[in-house]
Structure 1
Amino acid sequence: MALEHKSDPQNDAGEKCNASFVEDVQSSGFADEKGRTKAEGDYSGAVRKTDPREIQLVRKLDMRMMPIVWAMYFLNYVDRNAIASARLNGLEDDLGLEGTQYNTCISILFVGYLLMQIPSNMFMSSGKVRLSIYMSVCMAGWAIVSACTALTKNYTGLVLVRFFLGIAEAPFYPGALFLLSMFYTRKEIALRISILYSGNIVATAMSGLIAVATFETLDNKHGLAGWQWLFIIEGAVTFGIAVLGLLMLPDHPLTTRWLTPEERELAHSRILADTVGSRDSKGVLASLKEACRDPRLYLLAFMQNMHLSACSFNNFFPTVIGSLGFNSTITLVLTCPPYLVSGVVGVVVGITSGKWNERTWHITGSMGIAVVAFIISCATMNKAARYLCCFLFTSGAYAVNSVILGWVSATLGQTAEKKAASLSVVNVVANASYIYTAYLYPETNGPRYLIAMSSNAAFGTATIASAWALRWWLQNTNKKIQRGALPGAEDGVFYAY
């Protein structure tokens, strides 16, 4: 019996699988004649990989795709945060910045960044562009714009460069999430998002060290300041990785060049089988409207916004560490270990969340630890206790990111276009937290930073509460599907929580 799959905007470009392979996939127990998983899986219908070909496919995706998306995200944050290091090397004096002009140059990036995410993901899901080319070109674009920072001579030039850097960088993170969601199932994606997000964490930990090495070796060499060399070098490396992305990034499961025809069909079929309520696409704009009409989108967006609000310490982490009373050198050294530990913890949480196909308790446990650490930071000035809390709230808060974003793709992914729109909307709403959380750390509130730490505890509590609200919502939805009040019971695939 031939395996049928739903119409897809890129199907015509994909090569069809031969009949014997289709029969083998069906007999493995992973898909029925409609390409959907049967109820022999866990509570949501998700099944463990047993077919050797599927296991080999996922391993191939991990080895080919994950290193390049990690490197791209690492450089995304290195390039974005280079201005903070450049400030220590005389950027403000060289460009004549005064008053709040530096702060404006920081915030203007997010204007372009937030404006472009939704249109970019809609374009990516339209099937009108090869994703490997689009994301690599965008990366090359932000590499060039970032390098051009070295050419700025005044405040106006820096504002323009930062604005266009936000536009150029905007497509990557929501686009990378969409790309991962097209190749990894609900049980797999949390781990991959946590690995991706570790690129952000490692970049934050390492960017200062990269800057110091540049300033020590190239400052005032060949007529350029150290901060100018920093932007030039990082831009050149980013451009090189963008070229590599053309070769390593995948496209749609049915059109990825480095997958065999059999692997393409399997990659497409297993995601279709894992999708709750999968259906034919009605187009990009219709899918955006459908996502915006789904009330679960707003609860997930609120959850992610509260999570990122609780992570507001990341922009002021040296300031928080500095409240311990050490000199600037020791302070910079002490900022690295909590981030590195949090990266490891995030991967572990991603593994266990995927293994057990569970989200609510992982969010509760991880963010609960962070909330306790925030409260302790409010209550004591003991150096050892406060530094230990830095490990706890970074690890607990950051670990939640991959679980929430994986939940978005699992809950709102009825079509690829709706999934892309939902991920971008959630990301835009969540990143809006950077607008107001920047005001929670005034110098006058140090060294305890009571306002910031108590606010972070409240944000973390709201994240936990919204996770339980969504769990209750999805449980009731599953019951309605089982009773036949909603369609989908015949597929044996239910919402995961």
Structure 2
Amino acid sequence: MSSTHQVAARDEKPTSAYLEKGSMVNEKPSALENADFTGAVSKTDPEEIRLVRKIDWRLMPTLCTMYFLNYTDRNAIAQARLNNLEDDLGMTGVQFNTAVSILFVGYVLMQVPSNMLITRIKPGMYMSAWMLIWAVVSTCTGLVKSFGGLVACRFFLGITEAPFYPGATYMLSIFYTRKEVATRIALLYCAQILATGFSGLIAAGVFAGMDGLRGIAGWRWLFFVEGAATGVVAVFGFFLLPNTPLTTPWLTPAERELAHARMERDKIGDSTEPVSAMEGLKQACRDKRTWLFCFMQNFHLSACSFNSFFPTVVKTLGFTTTITLVLTCPPFIFAGVAGIMTGWSSGRMHERTWHITAGLTVAVVGFVIAASTLNTAGRYIACFIFPVGAYSVNSVIIGWASSTLSQTKEKKAVVLAMTNVGGQIGYIYGAYLWPDTDKPRYGIGFGASAGFALLSIVCAWIIRRLLIKENEKIRASTSEHVNLYEY
């Protein structure tokens, strides 16, 4: 058998009972107390509970703050558009769409090489260094004088921002078990959702208080202010981000050993020994499930292509720039709450497919309503519905890919990058689904987004069927107590 289909006969020290959708798998009834659907063990040891809480309070605020700024910097162009960015740079036609799209070209090119490297170096130092570089590039965007300069800055911003998200999800996957990771990825993703919403409030404040200050346009000040804030946080990242459970300075020696041991215990049944970075890439590419996750995330983020055009869509309600920017915030607060709740529920129930189906179905309803009416109240209600549905499932998709394709840490790192690359490609062409010629209804963008959401649901059900078959093979091939795939 291939490495991705090997059973876990080598797993010599089973530590818990394992269940498959509620039924016991070769386990004594007395083990039911600590068992869950697919083998992830419920924490009952007070020391482990304290450890996870400590990791939460040290790791999650740092990563969430960094990711908040990651999205604030890339989304600044959406707010800058409402402060005469296009007029000041002499932009016409689809040039703004190109400026949005080009960032994701750089983003896509850098992610897989970056995550191949991250398993060989100190990820905390690596991610902080890249954050400092993207802070400089973001700040320089405020200095551009032409469309060409803007495109160049956006391209390099994509390259420098690319290592962070797949690196952050990889870091979460080496500190948290399968039962825990979906909720933490949801919290991380919530930072991105809130950044999309609060960036409007930040921009409203900058434009109201600094537009024309020292003869500099408000949109330029926006890039300066946000870039400077990112640089400050990047410096703190060098001291706050850990690298591995066994080398984390703010854990005691006993806590480091426990953090490492519990991750070893949580490995999937067909896990293998570490391999080279290139072999990890080959393992990921040979596994057909990798490509299905890439397609699912691609369709999902294609449906989320409204992200950079959300202020433009809200502007069709007919309000002033300041009011428009303020109105962009509430929908994303709701979307952030929905993302956390969905991630928590998915992790607790060890269920992925139905959570993805439910969330994206809500998004489809929102897209249809938004495309169907220009009524102010109706369209603004739709602007709550489709972000809530679309953004609620990202942590489920990424957590599912991480736990399913984690036979080696090298493969897992590459898979996380490839899945994110697949998604970001959707943003490249998605930027052209919202042309000015289609306003105010934007039927092309909303219609395409609804179709992409449905395709993502289809991918989830195909993966579910494959994993059911994989679990049947594992159970038929060994009498050992092994972890099975979640679906």
**TM-based fold match above 0.5:** yes
Residue 82 of structure 1 corresponds to which residue in structure 2? 76
| In structure 2, C-alpha distance between the alignment counterparts of 1:320 and 1:451, rounded to whole Å | 13
Tell whether 2:144 aligns with 1:152.
yes
Listed one character per residue, the Cα deviations across residues 35-91 of structure 1 (whole Å, up to 9, x for unaligned) are 754434223111111111111111011100000111101111111122333333344
Tell whether 2:16 aligns with 1:42.
no
Is 67-76 or 366-375 further displaced after alignment?
366-375
Tell whether 2:255 aligns with 1:263.
yes
3-state SS, counterpart of residue 432 of structure 1: helix
Q: 2:105 aligns with which of 107, 111, 132?
A: 111
Residue 7 of structure 2 corresponds to which residue in structure 1? none
Is 212-221 or 159-168 further displaced after alignment?
212-221
Residue 432 of structure 1 corresponds to which residue in structure 2? 425
Residue 416 of structure 1 corresponds to which residue in structure 2? 409
Q: 2:226 aligns with which of 231, 234, 240?
A: 234
Q: 2:465 aligns with which of 472, 475, 480?
A: 472
Residue 375 of structure 1 corresponds to which residue in structure 2? 368
| In structure 2, C-alpha distance between the alignment counterparts of 1:383 and 1:115, rounded to whole Å | 40
| In structure 2, C-alpha distance between the alignment counterparts of 1:214 and 1:378, rounded to whole Å | 32
Using the TM superposition, give the Cα deviation of residue 397 of structure 1 relative to its aligned residue in structure 2, in angstroms: 1.2
Contact 1:481/1:489 (8 A) holds in 2: no
| In structure 2, C-alpha distance between the alignment counterparts of 1:369 and 1:153, rounded to whole Å | 42
Using the TM superposition, give the Cα deviation of residue 385 of structure 1 relative to its aligned residue in structure 2, in angstroms: 3.3
Is 365-374 or 391-400 further displaced after alignment?
365-374
Residue 297 of structure 2 corresponds to which residue in structure 1? 304
Using the TM superposition, give the Cα deviation of residue 350 of structure 1 relative to its aligned residue in structure 2, in angstroms: 1.2
Q: 2:53 aligns with which of 43, 56, 59?
A: 59
Using the TM superposition, give the Cα deviation of residue 33 of structure 1 relative to its aligned residue in structure 2, in angstroms: 6.1
Q: Note closer, same or farther for the CA distance 1:275–1:120 as it changes in structure 2 (3 Å cut).
A: same
Q: 1:251 aligns with which of 225, 243, 246?
A: 243
Residue 168 of structure 2 corresponds to which residue in structure 1? 176
Using the TM superposition, give the Cα deviation of residue 481 of structure 1 relative to its aligned residue in structure 2, in angstroms: 0.7
| In structure 1, C-alpha distance between the alignment counterparts of 2:263 and 2:199, rounded to whole Å | 37
Counterpart of 1:422 in structure 2: which amino acid? V
What is the 5 A alignment of 1:305-454? 305-454=298-447
Contact 1:35/1:269 (8 A) holds in 2: no
Counterpart of 2:247 in structure 1: which amino acid? T
Using the TM superposition, give the Cα deviation of residue 448 of structure 1 relative to its aligned residue in structure 2, in angstroms: 3.4
3-state SS, counterpart of residue 145 of structure 2: coil
| In structure 2, C-alpha distance between the alignment counterparts of 1:424 and 1:222, rounded to whole Å | 43
Counterpart of 1:193 in structure 2: which amino acid? I
Q: Note closer, same or farther for the CA distance 1:158–1:329 as it changes in structure 2 (3 Å cut).
A: closer
| In structure 1, C-alpha distance between the alignment counterparts of 2:124 and 2:396, rounded to whole Å | 25
Q: 1:190 aligns with which of 149, 162, 182?
A: 182
Residue 273 of structure 1 corresponds to which residue in structure 2? 265
Contact 2:103/2:156 (8 A) holds in 1: yes
Is 467-476 or 294-303 further displaced after alignment?
467-476
| In structure 1, C-alpha distance between the alignment counterparts of 2:306 and 2:475, rounded to whole Å | 44
Counterpart of 1:264 in structure 2: which amino acid? R
Counterpart of 1:300 in structure 2: which amino acid? F
Counterpart of 1:211 in structure 2: which amino acid? A
Tell whether 2:479 aligns with 1:494.
no
Using the TM superposition, give the Cα deviation of residue 329 of structure 1 relative to its aligned residue in structure 2, in angstroms: 4.4
Counterpart of 1:424 in structure 2: which amino acid? A
Is 385-394 or 251-260 further displaced after alignment?
385-394
Listed one character per residue, the Cα deviations across residues 117-171 of structure 1 (whole Å, up to 9, x for unaligned) are 0011110012xx2111111111011111111223333344333322221111110
Counterpart of 1:451 in structure 2: which amino acid? I
Using the TM superposition, give the Cα deviation of residue 376 of structure 1 relative to its aligned residue in structure 2, in angstroms: 3.3
Listed one character per residue, the Cα deviations across residues 451-480 of structure 1 (whole Å, up to 9, x for unaligned) are 333322222222222212211111111111
Contact 2:352/2:400 (8 A) holds in 1: yes
Q: Note closer, same or farther for the CA distance 1:44–1:243 as it changes in structure 2 (3 Å cut).
A: same
What is the 5 A alignment of 1:128-143? 129-143=121-135
3-state SS, counterpart of residue 151 of structure 1: coil
Residue 202 of structure 1 corresponds to which residue in structure 2? 194
Residue 23 of structure 2 corresponds to which residue in structure 1? none
Contact 2:78/2:311 (8 A) holds in 1: no
| In structure 2, C-alpha distance between the alignment counterparts of 1:321 and 1:213, rounded to whole Å | 18
TM score, norm. by length of structure 1: 0.87
Is 459-468 or 35-44 further displaced after alignment?
35-44
What is the 5 A alignment of 1:453-464? 453-464=446-457
Contact 1:96/1:154 (8 A) holds in 2: yes
Q: Note closer, same or farther for the CA distance 1:415–1:491 as it changes in structure 2 (3 Å cut).
A: farther
Using the TM superposition, give the Cα deviation of residue 325 of structure 1 relative to its aligned residue in structure 2, in angstroms: 4.6
Counterpart of 2:227 in structure 1: which amino acid? G
Give the gaps of 5 or more residues in structure 2: 1-10, 19-30
Using the TM superposition, give the Cα deviation of residue 222 of structure 1 relative to its aligned residue in structure 2, in angstroms: 3.6
Counterpart of 1:240 in structure 2: which amino acid? V
Residue 16 of structure 1 corresponds to which residue in structure 2? none
Contact 1:36/1:272 (8 A) holds in 2: no
3-state SS, counterpart of residue 65 of structure 1: helix
Contact 2:315/2:324 (8 A) holds in 1: yes
Using the TM superposition, give the Cα deviation of residue 422 of structure 1 relative to its aligned residue in structure 2, in angstroms: 0.1
| In structure 2, C-alpha distance between the alignment counterparts of 1:404 and 1:476, rounded to whole Å | 20
Listed one character per residue, the Cα deviations across residues 85-124 of structure 1 (whole Å, up to 9, x for unaligned) are 3333344444444554444333222221110000111100
| In structure 2, C-alpha distance between the alignment counterparts of 1:109 and 1:116, rounded to whole Å | 11
Tell whether 2:217 aligns with 1:225.
yes
| In structure 1, C-alpha distance between the alignment counterparts of 2:447 and 2:97, rounded to whole Å | 24
TM score, norm. by length of structure 2: 0.89
3-state SS, counterpart of residue 495 of structure 1: coil
Q: Note closer, same or farther for the CA distance 1:455–1:345 as it changes in structure 2 (3 Å cut).
A: same
CA RMSD of aligned residues (A): 2.1
Q: Note closer, same or farther for the CA distance 1:489–1:160 as it changes in structure 2 (3 Å cut).
A: farther
3-state SS, counterpart of residue 66 of structure 1: helix
